[in-house]
Amino acid sequence: MSEALQQIISSKRMPVLFIGSGLSKRYLSAFPSWEQLLDQLREKIGVSKAAYSARQQQIKSQQPGITPGKLHQKMASYLRDRLLACIEQGTIDPLSLFTKEECRQCEDAGIEYFKLLVTKQLGTYTFNESKSDELALLRKIGEKVSMIYTTNYDSFLEKEVFPKFQVYASQNKYYFRTSNGFGELFKIHGCVNTPNSIIICEEDYQRFESSLKLVSSKLLNSLLDFPILFLGYSLEDENIKSILLDFMDSFDNSIIQEIKKYILLIVYEAGQEDLVEGEKVFTNEGTGKSITLTTIKTDNFQALYRYIDNLTPAASVYELRKYKTMLAELVADSSKGRKKIYVQDIEEAGASGLALYIGRQEFIEEVQKSVYIYSKEDVIQMALEGRVFDYNSFASVWYETKSISCTEYTPVFLIRNKLTIPYENCSEKFRKNYESRVNFFQTCPVKDFQGSIETIREKYRRQRCEKKDIKRVCQNICSDLFNALTSGKVSDEVGLDFLKQMLQDSADVLQQSPYKRVLCLIWYRQYEQKKAQRTG
């Protein structure tokens, strides 16, 4: 039995996992180490082994004692420079390494050739079938882990192990207000899905190290609430050293001694079936501060995962993330003047007397009053973003109180599809709006559209760059999108994604009738036409 792990289980605090490339190597076949990755890139670029070795020897002679990590950073910079020079001189045709679309991204969108090449090396993988049972256990503990930090570029963790976690793929995304501390995966060295975010060259690490205190700060905040387990790193890994040394530079010894109780380094040792506890001392030679951490050496990761699975949190990490997100949205909306929080006798209640209820509005006292606060634009946006709301109350009350005319474009088809009350119990204005819009789309003439979604996107980008009035942009773009949808040139899913992008660019589109018309068309096609096909 591992005393250190047992202490974590007894605390009933969900751990944070800090995951390195060793875990990807364990579960993926032929997954490269950093050194192997650079060698693969060397071959792709056409640098000979002799030239590569000569540059390594030159660096080592200039910097005796350079660490393997620092050497790899410099060699990555060397390969990047060689690749760019060869492309510039014409000795490498980019099409020999990349597709036409990838070349266009590099030329027009500023994607770095070298980092794109890295993503191509790591973008695909196959599983190590001998570890399938162990991997299933790792997936299972997803509900017992609060957060994950990783220095891995590959997408194995978010796609195969923790698919429900919210992914933050670069440092500038870690501190968004939407980050709530549960069910989140932070890729602190970037991700293959966003090539330019990858930290691999010497200059990348210099920029990263200058902002490392931000990562350490977030980790420290995690330690106040959760233990941290390092997985997939060696004891000499420079990523661990950098973070721990930064801890020691930032806090006095009493805090350091408190922190160390909640950090475990899980180290792979081939063939070791037991969980062997030990210690590792990390010392800052400049300040003399040190921290002694508990290590567990093992090859029996199933036993490790079973320990974590013994945790019994009151709610799953996904539920906690959902609750915190919901509360944050409620507070934010209320602070903007949209009343969504109703408090009763809070002045008379102590902390032990408080409780929170979140549920369907029809089960809350005087629910009808609560739907009054939503504007027409609020309801359209909620429907567009896929947010769940009380469809019954909106159909029976909201359309009437807002005096929605029969010719307005609203989420009427979505709401009708979600109703759990009889259609006859809906308000007259809801039913008139529904019947009018059904008739409109049934009799709407189909106009051919010569083009594709890319045609529409390019036109939209051009008009945005020309800073045309949003009303005119919506008139032009949404008219094209409407015709493209009805003539089958664009799918509903693609059209909906485009409309969401327009809303992100400007909230004013919700005021424009052409925008609401094409959105209403998509809901009509998704719900009414499919319903007719099922019953026809």
Given a cut of 90, whether residue 324 has pLDDT beyond it is no
- Strands 276-283, 290-298: pairing is antiparallel
Q: What is the mean pLDDT of residues 409-420?
A: 94
The terminus-to-terminus CA distance of the chain in angstroms comes to: 64
pLDDT tens readout for residues 169-188: 866 555 444 455 678 898 98
- How many Å apart are CA 6 and CA 25, to the nearest integer? 27
Tell me the CA distances in angstroms from 362 to 41, 70, 151, 420, 458, one per residue in order: 60, 61, 46, 12, 45
Given a cut of 50, whether residue 83 has pLDDT beyond it is yes
Confidence of residue 89 (pLDDT cuts 50, 70, 90): very high
pLDDT tens readout for residues 436-475: 999 999 998 888 888 899 999 999 999 988 888 888 899 9
Given a cut of 60, whether residue 345 has pLDDT beyond it is no
pLDDT for residue 438: 94
Report CA 442 to chain centroid distance, whole Å. Answer: 40
Question: Which residue did the predictor score with more confidence, 51 or 216?
Answer: 51
- How many Å apart are CA 271 and CA 466, to the nearest integer? 65
H or E element at residue 330: helix 317-335
Question: Which residue did the predictor score with more confidence, 213 or 522?
Answer: 522
Confidence (pTM): 0.60
pLDDT for residue 15: 87
The residue among 26, 107, 82 whose CA lies nearest residue 98 is 107
- How many Å apart are CA 418 and CA 389, to the nearest integer? 10
Contact residues for 65 (Cβ-Cβ < 8 A; gap 6+): none
Report CA 32 to chain centroid distance, whole Å. Answer: 24
Confidence of residue 407 (pLDDT cuts 50, 70, 90): very high
- How many Å apart are CA 14 and CA 148, to the nearest integer? 11
The residue among 188, 181, 112 whose CA lies nearest residue 157 is 188
Contact 146, 182 (CB under 8 A): yes
Given a cut of 70, whether residue 279 has pLDDT beyond it is yes
- How many Å apart are CA 531 and CA 412, to the nearest integer? 14
Q: What is the mean pLDDT of residues 253-278?
A: 87
The residue among 171, 180, 232, 225 whose CA lies nearest residue 17 is 232
Secondary structure (3-state) at 309: helix
- How many Å apart are CA 243 and CA 250, to the nearest integer? 11
DSSP assignments along 153-208, one per residue = -SSHIIIII-TTSEEE-SGGGTT-TT--SSSEEEETT-BTTBGGG---SHHHHHHH
Given a cut of 60, whether residue 95 has pLDDT beyond it is yes
pLDDT for residue 7: 79
pLDDT for residue 176: 45
Q: What is the mean pLDDT of residues 70-97?
A: 96
Question: Which residue did the predictor score with more confidence, 216 or 400?
Answer: 400
pLDDT for residue 72: 96
Question: Which residue did the predictor score with more confidence, 329 or 141?
Answer: 141
